[in-house]
Amino acid sequence: MSNWTDVAAEADLFEGAGIPVAPGGRDIALFAVDGEVFATDNLCTHGHARLCDGFVEGHEIECPHHQGRFDLRTGDATLAPCTEPIKIWPVKVEGGRVFLDLG
């Protein structure tokens, strides 16, 4: 069952890095890549670091802590030392607002 929740204004996003949002106390990072929006859990599955502070390279987010990477489209870990995938969240943008399906 869908549970679309308004989490941010699209205008708050910028290319190159993420922003943190906290719907219902969850820690989630939003990323804008070529006008498309992606959402992942913010806490890296490897070290204790927030991916919103990392660096977007193509469709990958590089963790600021150990330079491990995840694919923003699938959540797959793509570069060591990250090995566990990161949870991704369904996103839609409507009327300049970003919605996440929190399930």
Q: Does 13 bind other proteins (CB under 8 A)?
A: no
Q: Does 63 bind other proteins (CB under 8 A)?
A: yes
Classify each residue of 5-18 as buried b or exposed e, where b means 16 or more C-beta atoms within 10 Å of its C-beta: eebbeeeebeeebb
Q: What is the dihedral of CA 56, 60, 61, 64, to 10 degrees?
A: -90
Answer whether 66's CB lies under 8 Å from 57's CB.
no
Q: Does 65 bind other proteins (CB under 8 A)?
A: yes
> Which residue lies nearer to other proteins by CB, 4 or 14?
14
Least distance (Å) from other proteins to the CB of residue 34? Answer: 20
Which of these segments, 5-13, 29-37, 78-86, 87-95, binds other proteins (CB under 8 A)? 78-86
Q: Among 15, 67, 92, 94, which residue interacts with other proteins (rule: CB under 8 A)?
A: 67
- d(CA 20, CA 4) in angstroms, rounded, equals 17
Q: Among 8, 17, 21, 86, which residue interacts with other proteins (rule: CB under 8 A)?
A: 17
